[in-house]
Chains A and B, each alone.
Chain A
Amino acid sequence: MPKLRYFGLVIAATAVLGCGSMAADHLDENQEFTYRLLDQFPSLDPQLNEDSAGFSVIRDLFEGLTTQDENGDLTPGVATDWSSVDGNRTWIFNLRKDAKWSNGDSVTAHDFVYAWRRAVDPETASSYSWYLEVGQIKNAGEIIAGDMPPDQLGVSALDDYRLQVQLSAPVPFFPSMTTYATLMPVHQATIERLGDEWTRPSHMVSNGAYVLQDLVLAEYHSRIKNPLYWDADNVIIEKVTGIIVNDDNTALTRYLAGEFDHLDGLPAGQYPNLKDKYPDQTFSMPLLCTYYYVINQSESGNPALDDVRVRQALSYAIDRDVIVNQVLKGGQRGAYSFTHWATSGFDMPDIGYATLSQAERDAKAKELIVEAGFGSNGDALELRLIYNTSESHKAIANVISQMWKEKLAVRVTLENFEWKTFLDKASNQDFDIARSGWCGDYNEASTFLQLVTSDNDFNDGKFTNARIDELMAKSATSEIDPQKAYSEVEQILADEMGLIPIYHYSQVFMKVPALKGWPLNNVENNWYSKNLYMAAP
C-alpha cells in the first residue's frame, strides 16, 4: 500500500543526553533479533536506495564515513576524524586502516570516490542522485544533467586513507550527511564483475557489521555478523531477520504470538490500549514529519479559497485535539506550524490561533466564514477533498469534513484515489483541498519551509508570498539569522493560512523487554543492529 515515504534524515546537530549501558545486563545466549518490515524494500544497492526500509538494512550491511549513536549524534564510521580548513567548503576525512570488506580487501578512499561518482552517474540513474546536489558537492548537478563526466565530481582520494570533498557552498553539517546510504562505499570490483546481480546474497561484498545471508523477495531477509568488521568484537547480535508483513493487525497478532522482537507500525488507534496492557513494550517518539492539508489557490481551485478569511475559517474550525487524542491516539501533537516542534534549533513563534481555546477558534471561524459571504446563511461553499488510500487519511478526512459541515456549513465531497492517481491529481491542481504529509530530509526547519516558496516543485497549492521567498533566499546564504527568518515565515504562513497544518507525527512501536540498546532518543529512528543486544530473561 502506498504510504508516506520517509527516508533518512540528516542530523545537523542534536545533542540529547545519552542513556543506558549494557554492563548492567546479562546477555542472553541466543543473540538473534527478528523484526517486522511493512513492505519489500526496492533495493539493497546503497546508491539506488530510496526508502527507509531499505536504509534500515543498508545501515547494517555497509558503513559510511560517519554513523549515528543511540542519540542520533554523529560518531566515527570508516572515517576516524574529519575537518574543514576553509569554512566548511573543503572537507578532509581520515579513514581507519583496519576497515575491511567482507572479502578481506581493505576499505580505501578510492571506494568512496567510486561510490559517489556512481551515485551521480546518469547511467546509474539513481533517484537519490539529488542528495549529492543538496550536499553541494562540486559539479554534482552538472554531472547529473549529463553536462560533465562523473570523474569531475568534487571528491578525490589524497591517498588510500584520506578523502577530500570539495563543496560549491559551505555546508557545516556535511559530515552528518555521510551517514546516509547514498554516500556509503561500494566494492568496485564486485559491481564491475556482476552488474545488477551484485546485491544477491551470495554475491554481495559489504563493509558493515553484518553481511547479507538470505533474501526472499516479499517474504524475508536475514543478515549475519560480519567477522571481518573492524569493530566485530563489540557486535553482540549474531543474526538479524526482517520479516515482511503487510497487514498491521496480523503483524500485531504475530508480535503478540512471540514471532518478532520489534514491531513497527501499530494498528491505527491501538496505541493507548497496547500501552495499557504492555507498558514496558509500547513506545511513542516524535518523528520529523508534518501532516497537513493543501489549499488549492491556483485557478483550478474553488475561487472562495483565494479569500484568506475562508482559509483561516477552515483551519480554525479543525479541532486538532480531537484528531490527535481521539482518532490517532499515538502521541502525535496538534500542529499550528508547518515545521515540526521537535526540529532542532527551531524557535516556535507565537502563532495567534494556537493560543486560543477551541471554542474561541470555532467562534472566530464562524465569524470569518460569514464575513466572507458563506456559512449557514450565506452561499453554500462546496469543496472537493482528495486523499490517497489509507485508513488514517480516511478517518481524518471524515472527521474534518464533519467539523466543517457542522461549524461552517461547508459541504465537502470526499474523493479517495490510489496513490499514483492521487499524485497526478495533486500535482495538476485537480482538487480544492488535498491531504499531504512532509518528512524532513534533515533536522532543520528549512527542510519544511522550502516547500512554501513559490517555485518549489512540491507546492501543490500554488501558495505564493513574496516576503517568504525573500526570507528563505536570504536565510540560505546566511544573510540573516536563519532561525529568526524561519519564525517569521511561520508567522506569515499562519496569518495567510497558505496551508493547514494538522498534526506533527510520532513514531509508535513495540519491542520485547529483552531487546536492549534501542535508540529511544533518535528522532530519525535510525537504529543499528550492532548497538542492540538481547538481555537474559
Chain B
Amino acid sequence: MFQFILRRLLIALPTLFILIAATFLLMHLAPGGPFTTEKPLPDEVMANLEAKYGLDEPLARQFGTYLFDLVTDFDFGPSFVFKDLSVRDIILQGFPVTLTYGFWAFIVAISVGIPLGVAAAVHQNSWLDYLAVGVSIGAQVLPNFVMAPILVLIFTLWLGWLPGGGWQGGQIEYVIMPVIALSTSFMASVARMTRSSMLEILHSNFIRTARAKGLNGTSVIWRHALKPAMLPVISFLGPVFVAMITGSMIIDYYFGTGGIGQFFTNAALSRDYGVMMGVTILVGTLTILFTTVVDILYAWIDPRIRY
C-alpha cells in the first residue's frame, strides 16, 4: 500500500507537467488575449503591456520561465486582469471560501443522500422508496441556476431570514444558501447511485446466504451490504468533490460569495493567463489527490483489489 501511494505521488508530477503544458498551449491558441479590448489599445501601449507580462517572448521561453518560477518559488505569476494582485493572492483568498461551502455541501450530499438511498433500496417499491426517488429526482431537475434565485427570493425577500449573498468570512447565515444550492443535485445523484448499487448487493447471493443463516435485517445491511454497495458511490464521489469546486461558478455568480469557482469561467473568458494556469494546476492537483484517495478506499473496502 505504501509503495502504491509513493508510486502515485511520483507519477503525479509528469501528469501535472503534461496538464500544464497542454493548458498553456490551448490558452495561447484561443483567439484574443488578456489585453484585447473593445477600444483597441495603441500599438506602443500594447507593446509595453506585453513586455511587462513577458508576452513578447517566444512561447517556449514563456513556458520555461513560468515553470521555473513555479518550481523554484512556488510563484504562479501575476494576474493579467487584476493588475495589482498575484495569482497566489487570488487563490489564497478564493479557495478557502469555495472549500468551505464545497465541504459542507459534500457533507450534506452524502449524509442525506446515502441514508436516503439505503432506505429506498431496503424498502424497494414501498412508499418510502417512491418518496425518496421522487425527492431525489425533484432535486435534480431543478437546475441550480433556477434554484439559486428562488432561494434568494424566498429566504431574503419574502421571509427576510437570510442575507441575499456575500460571505463575510463564512458566517453561518451566509453559508446556508450556497450549501443548499450546491448540494441538492449532488445529493440526489448520490441517493440514486446508492439505491441502485444497494439493490444489486441485496439481491446478491452472499446477502441471501447471510439472511438464510438467520442474521437479522439491520445487521445484514449495515455490516455486510453497505460496504460493497459503496464501491461505485465512492468512485463517483471523487469527481463529485472536484466538480463541487469547479462547478461552484453558479454559486459565486448568484450569491457573490467571492469563491474561486467563478474564475474557472471568468479567467478563461477574460483570457487571464495567469489565473487560468493557477486554477488549472489547483484543479489538477485536487483531481490527482482525490483519485488516489478513491483508489486507496477501494482497496480498503474490497481486499481482492490489488495494485
Contact = CB atoms under 8 A, between A and B. Distances in A.
Interface in A306-364: none
B83 A43 contact: yes
Nearest to B156: A257
Interface in B248-284: 252-254, 256-259, 262, 269-271
A246 B48 CA distance: 31
Contacts of A130: 41-42, 45
Contacts of A216: 93, 167, 258
B273 to A, nearest CB: 12
A218 B94 contact: yes
Contacts of A423: 32, 36-38
Interface of A: 2, 4-5, 40, 42-45, 48, 50, 122-123, 125-127, 129-130, 133, 141, 144-146, 196-199, 216-220, 243-247, 249-250, 253-254, 256-257, 259, 418-421, 423-425, 427, 437, 457-458
A43 B167 CA distance: 21
A420 B152 contact: no
14 contacts: A122-B51, A130-B45, A144-B42, A144-B44, A144-B45, A145-B44, A216-B93, A250-B148, A253-B153, A253-B156, A254-B165, A257-B164, A421-B32, A423-B36
Contacts, number: 151
A278 to B, nearest CB: 14
A250 B146 CA distance: 11
Given A129-B45, A257-B157, 9 more contacts: A43-B82, A43-B83, A130-B45, A219-B256, A243-B165, A254-B164, A419-B269, A424-B32, A437-B38
A129 B48 contact: yes
Interface string B186-197: 000000000000
Nearest to B32: A420
B52 A44 contact: no
A122 to B, nearest CB: 4
Interface string B139-156: 000000000110011001
A180 to B, nearest CB: 15
A449 B129 CA distance: 69
A197 B35 CA distance: 22
B180 to A, nearest CB: 15
A243 to B, nearest CB: 6
Interface of B: 30-33, 35-42, 44-45, 48-49, 51-53, 78, 81-86, 89-90, 93-94, 148-149, 152-153, 156-157, 160, 163-167, 252-254, 256-259, 262, 269-271
Contacts of B90: 217
B157 A253 contact: yes
Given A43-B82, A48-B83, A130-B45, A217 B94 contact: yes
A386 B10 CA distance: 48
Contacts of B78: 196
B167 A219 contact: yes
Contacts of A44: 84
Contact of A245 (B40, B45, B256): B256
Given A129-B48, A144-B45, A218-B262, A43 B84 contact: yes
A247 B271 CA distance: 21
B58 to A, nearest CB: 20
Given A122-B51, A129-B45, A243-B166, A424 B81 contact: no
A163 B166 CA distance: 44
